[in-house]
Amino acid sequence: MRISRFTAAFTLLAAVAQAQDVPAIKIDIATVSPKAPVVMVVFSEQLTATSTAAHFDRMRVRLMPTNVTPTGISQNIASAASLTVVFTAIPAGTTRICFDSVQFTKSGVISESSGQVCADLSDFEAEKQARLKAFGEAAKAAGGKYDKDIFASGFVTTASEESAGGADLSLTPDLNIPGLESFVRIKKATADEGDARHFEAGAEFSFAGTWKPSEMRRMAETPPGEELNKLLRARQSNIIAGWLVDVGVKLEGDPTNFNVTNFVMDSGFQLRTMTKGFLGRRGFWRGFILPVGVEAGQSLGAGAVEAATVPAAPAAPAVNKIVRYKGGAGLTIYFDNPNTQIPLRRIALEANTVLRQLFRDESRINDETKLIDTTDKGTHAYTEVDLKVFVAETAKTRYGLKISFNRGRLPPVYAEVKSFDFGFLMETDK
Amino acid sequence: MAKNSGKKGNKHGNKQGGKESKPQEAVAVRESFARMIREKQEAIGDGGLQVLLALASVTTLVTLDTSTTPPTVTPANIGTLTFNDPSIGLTDEGMRIFKANLTILLPQIARDIESIPASAALNIGKVAEFVQLSLMGA
């Protein structure tokens, strides 16, 4: 008797311990379609796609308290956590959906729920709005950029081997206006030939289109199968993925003292390439071409102010209207091999160039006097090449070095830049 | 008078007939409508295939074999990844083109697709679930 009690207690303890080992799973969303007897169920973990798994067994799924079983259950191939559960009808009074058991993966391990997994049916529109709100928060947290590079303790080494501090910031604050994207960009350094003296802040609307939309329409009309595979392969053989048209306004300024500021309407047309994989998906490249862009605006303050503070300096000619053509291109090459034994775990190379043709005289720095006491038209290019090499990483953060080469001139003062920048880099995954 | 009586009689007769036939018609219309919705849902599904087609049309790092049941996708854990994950390789600009592709594949939820932020930091699975929700209400 004593032995059997001991055995029962041991069995109970073992069962409790086993239950504690099973990772928890719950239903995040269970909502009924307003148009059809269909319930969408989203779990907190990725479900297995095994056809014999309990969550695909129609007899082990039911609406409560009406006890109605479904006629079909399917999994979303783009989200293994989501099921579509189809019923012939959803009786009045139904408040809940229950799965006797679900099979799921967590950290690569397949587990079975320790018991029933149930959830109350929620309001359809509220779920949609909640999902959109979550998207907005995720986008805001990311700040519109994946790479959160901090030019920590970075310094600039110019061609003349001077060293100085620098700032290279690109922010995308959220103005909560649908379709409108705002930006703040600063390129500033204290070394003469490393200081682009570039600041711009503004907002723009962006319109996107797909390349060869007829290919997409044919895919929309083709049922799954070999024919659709063929269409997708043809689609993926394209170099260009789509186009973007950006239209916006911005304020340009010399971040040293804002003596030169311009209000500029900025527009551009870009062709973006597909992201093309190489080396068995360990790397990819992508790029863009900006064949045509127009910047037009009004000078709000010219270099004459700075020139006037120096008695010997001649007064700079007044700058009024601004009209520029803008073209450019960019290329990103990326390689990542987390399993490598060598310290080079990730390499990212990014090269961008922009060329501006000025049709009206604009303020610019005089290379001899180092003052904004002259004006110029003509062609001004700016090229930036960034190489990021990551040598160590934790689960969420990577550490490495960034080496940057900058050459050319940027508005509004077109200071000559010839510099190599380098700094430590820390990237976090959002 | 007789004409009026006849009219009344006819009207009355029609009314009686209507009481019997209208519920039947309503049931038939409802069933037909439900069948149309089922057929539409079966044809389009939950939108997961269209999300992956739109994505694979921007990045060759995503591949899809639709001849298997269910379709086979690479990377297999795509629903857990963000659009800017190195194994997907999209930027915010690529995300805009993805949305343009998806709008062609699912024009009936164009307004909902437009409301998705053009941020490559979004999770692909969550976007697929939003598309699924939108299709359920379309």
8 A C-beta contact, residue A32 and residue A121: yes
The answer to whether B130 contacts A79, with C-beta atoms less than 8 Å apart, is no
- Which residues in chain A are contacts of B51 at CB distance < 8 A? 78
Look at residue A422 in the predicted model and tell me its pLDDT. Answer: 79
CA distance A260 to A362: 10
Residue B41: the pLDDT is 52
Residues of B in contact with A146 (CB under 8 A): 84, 91, 120-121
Mode of pairing for the β-strands spanning A180-189 and A163-171: antiparallel
B93-127 per-position pLDDT tens digit: 999 999 999 999 999 999 999 999 999 999 999 99
Which of B41, B44, B46 should one mutate to test binding to chain A, selecting the residue with the greatest count of A CBs within 10 A?
Answer: B46
Determine contact: B32 vs chain A, CB below 8 A.
no
A224-276 pLDDT, tens digit each: 999 999 999 999 999 999 999 999 999 998 877 777 888 999 999 999 999 99
* Choice between B55 and A313, residue whose per-residue pLDDT is larger: B55
Q: Do A82 and B78 touch (CB under 8 A)?
A: no
- Rounded-to-integer distance, Cα A427 and Cα B12, Å: 81
Amino acid identity for residue A158 in this structure: T
CA distance A385 to B97: 25
**Residue among B106, B87, B90 nearest B48 (CA):** B106
Domain residue limits, chain A: 2-132, 144-428
Interchain CB distance below 8 Å, B119 and A229: no
DSSP state for residue A308 in the 8-state scheme: H
Q: What is the pLDDT, as a whole number, of residue A187?
A: 78
Query: Taking the CB of residue A368, how many other CB atoms lie within 10 A of it?
Result: 8
The predicted pLDDT at position B21 comes to 60
CA nearest to B67 within chain A: A225
CB nearest to B117's CB, from A124, A135, A225: A135
Residue from A313, A322, A316 nearest A304 by CA: A316
Q: Which residue of B has its CA nearest to A123?
A: B133
Express each pLDDT in A288-329 by its tens digit. 999 999 999 988 875 444 544 555 555 555 678 899 999 999
For chain B, the farthest-separated pair of C-alpha atoms sits apart, in whole angstroms, at 87
Task: Give the closest-approach CA distance of B6 to chain A in angstroms.
Answer: 44
| Chain B CB contacts of A281 below 8 Å | 61, 87
Nearest by CB to residue A275, choosing from B89, B101, B126, is: B89
Residues of A in contact with B30 (CB under 8 A): none
pLDDT along chain A (430 residues), means of 10: 53 51 84 93 94 92 94 94 94 94 90 92 93 89 50 40 56 69 79 77 92 96 96 97 95 80 93 93 94 92 51 59 94 85 82 94 79 82 92 81 90 87 75
Q: What architecture is the A144-428 domain classified under in CATH? A: Beta Barrel (2.40)
Identify the bridge partners of residue A244 per DSSP, sorted by sequence position. Answer: A208, A270
Any B CB within 8 A of A256 CB: no
Alpha helix (H) residue ranges in A103-161: 124-142
Q: What is the ipTM of this complex?
A: 0.83
% of chain B with per-residue pLDDT over 70: 70
Question: Any CB–CB contact under 8 A between A39 and chain B?
Answer: no
Q: Tell me the CATH number of domain A2-132, given options 3.40.50.300, 3.10.180.10, 2.60.120.260, 2.60.40.1220.
A: 2.60.40.1220
- On whether any CB of chain A is under 8 Å from the CB of B102, the answer is no
Q: Whole-prediction pTM value?
A: 0.81
Cβ-Cβ contacts under 8 Å, B31 against chain A: none
> Would you state the structure tokens that stand for residue A68, as one six-digit string?
């109605």
State the pLDDT at residue B3. Answer: 39
Q: How far is A362 from chain B (nearest CA, A)?
A: 31
A30 vs B32, higher pLDDT = A30
Contact B93 A244 (CB under 8 A): yes
Cross-chain residue pair B61–A275, CB shorter than 8 Å: yes
Q: Is B21 on the interface with A (CB under 8 A)?
A: no
- Find the CB nearest B66 among A49, A134, A229: A229
